[in-house]
Structure 1
Amino acid sequence: MPQIVPVNTREDIFSQYLDTPIGDLIEYHNFGKPFEKKYVHADILIGMCMDNRKHLNIPEKFAYIIRTGGGNMRLSEFKVSYAVAVGGVRAIALIGHNNCGMVNLMSKEQKFVDGLVEVGWDRKAAEDHFRHFAPMFEIGNEIDFLLAETNRIRQRYPKVLVAPLFYQVEDNRLYLVQEDK
C-alpha cells in the first residue's frame, strides 16, 4: 500500500529526486531554500489541483504549472506535451492533496446544479452539464488517482522523470509518495 512520507530534511528526499528539479521543488517549498538561481526557462512542469488552499513557494520561471480539478491531466495532455517538447522540461511533479473536492464528485450534484441555477443557468442545462462532465473529473481516492495519473504520464513520456507528490492542506507541506513496487 502506498505511503505518504514526510520530507523534513534534504536527507528525506528519495535519492532518485535529489539534485533534480523535483528535489529543488521540495527544497524551495518545504525548506525555504533561497531563490539564488535565476531561471531563464522552466526546469519542471507541475500538475496540481486548482484548489485555492494550495500555494507553492518557488522562484519565478522555475516551472510551468497546470492547475486543473483534482490535478487531472487527461484533458491537458497537449499542454504537457508542449512543456516537454517545446519547453524542454525533463521533470514532472504531479501533486495531489487531501480533502480534494473532486473526490466523491457525484455526491455534489445538487449543490453544483443549484449553484449554476443561482447565477442564471437553466436547471436542465445545469443538470446536463454536470452529468456530462462529472464522470471525466471524478478522481475517486486522492492517492490512487495520483498514482494512476503518474503511471499514465510515465508511459506517455518514458524519458521524463515523473514524481507523485502529496500536499497536506493542514500544514502546507509537500510529501513524497512511496509507491508499491
Structure 2
Amino acid sequence: MKRLVKVTKEEDIFEKYKGTPIEALLKYHNLDYPHDTFAKAEILIGMCMDNRKSLRIPDNFAFILRSGGGNLRYSEFKVSYAIAIGGVKTIALIAHNNCGMVNLMSKKKNFINGLVDVAGWDRQWAEEHFMNFSPMFEIGNEIDFVLSEAKRLRLRYPNILVAPLYYNIDDNKLYLVNED
C-alpha cells in the first residue's frame, strides 16, 4: 500500500474529502486554483513551525497553528476555540519530511550548546530543559505521528473532519496520507 498519495489533479483527491475544505486546500496549494474570498475561516490547519513550509491559500481561509512537529497536544484549547468560537468543522494536520522533532536525542548536544552559547543559559539548566521537554515533543516517524494525532483528535472532536496530510519539502506539495 502506498502511504502517500501525491495530488497532481482533482481525481487524486480522496472521495471522503470532496466538497470539503480539505479539497479546497489541496486545490489551492497543489493545483494553483484561483483564490476565493472568505469572510471567516473554513478550516484549522495544524502544521510544523518549520520555516521551509509555506501554504498557498487565500486570506481568511484558515486558522493556522504551528508547533514543533505539528503536535497539537499542547494547543488543544486553541483547537477548541477555533471550533467553538470560529465555527470550523475541519482540521488538516500536516506533517512533513525531514522534521526536526524526529529523533530529538540526536540533537541534544547542539540544543544544549545553542542555549548556552546563543541564549546565555547555564549549561545545567539547558540540560534539564532538554531532558524535561524533549520527551513531550519527540514525534517519532512523521507519518505515524500525523496518523496517531488525527486519530486522537477524531476521538476528542467526533463531529469534526480530521485529515492527515504530508508536506514534501523537496517539491513543496501536499500529499494525502492513505490510512487503510
TM-score by length of 2: 0.98
RMSD over aligned Cα atoms: 0.8
What is the aligned residue count? 179
Match of 1:4 in 2: 4
Distance in structure 2 (CA, Å) of the matches to 1:23 and 1:71: 20
Match of 1:31 in 2: 31
Q: What is the correspondence of 1:70-149 to structure 2 with a 5 Å cutoff? A: 70-119=69-118, 120-149=120-149
Aligned sequence identity (%): 64
Q: 2:134 and 2:93 mapped to 1: Cα distance?
A: 21
In the alignment, structure 1 residue 49 sits paired with structure 2 residue 48: yes
**Which ranges in structure 1 are unaligned for 5 or more consecutive residues?**
none
Counterpart of 1:58, as a letter, is I
Instruction: Determine the structure 2 residue equivalent to 1:61.
Output: 60
Query: Could you tell me the TM-score, scaled by structure 1's length?
Result: 0.97
Which residue of 1 is the match for residue 175 of structure 2?
Answer: 175
| Structure 2 gaps, min length 5 | none
Q: Tell me, in whole angstroms, the C-alpha distance in 2 between the residues paired with 1:133 and 1:18.
A: 39
Runs of 4+ in structure 1 displaced over 3 angstroms?
A: none
| Contact 1:49 1:71 (8 Å CA) reproduced | yes
- Once the two structures are superposed, residues 138-169 of structure 1 have per-residue CA deviations (whole angstroms, 9 ceiling, x without a partner) of 00000110100000000011111100000000
Determine if contact 1:7/1:30 at 8 Å carries over to the other structure. yes
Residues 120-146 of structure 1, C-alpha deviations (whole Å, 9 max, x = no match): 110000001111110000000001101
CA separation in 2, counterparts of 1:2 and 1:179? 10
- Contact 1:92–1:162, Cα closer than 8 Å, also in 2: yes
Using the TM superposition, give the Cα deviation of residue 2 of structure 1 relative to its aligned residue in structure 2, in angstroms: 6.4
Verify the 8 A CA contact 1:2 1:179 in the aligned structure 2. no
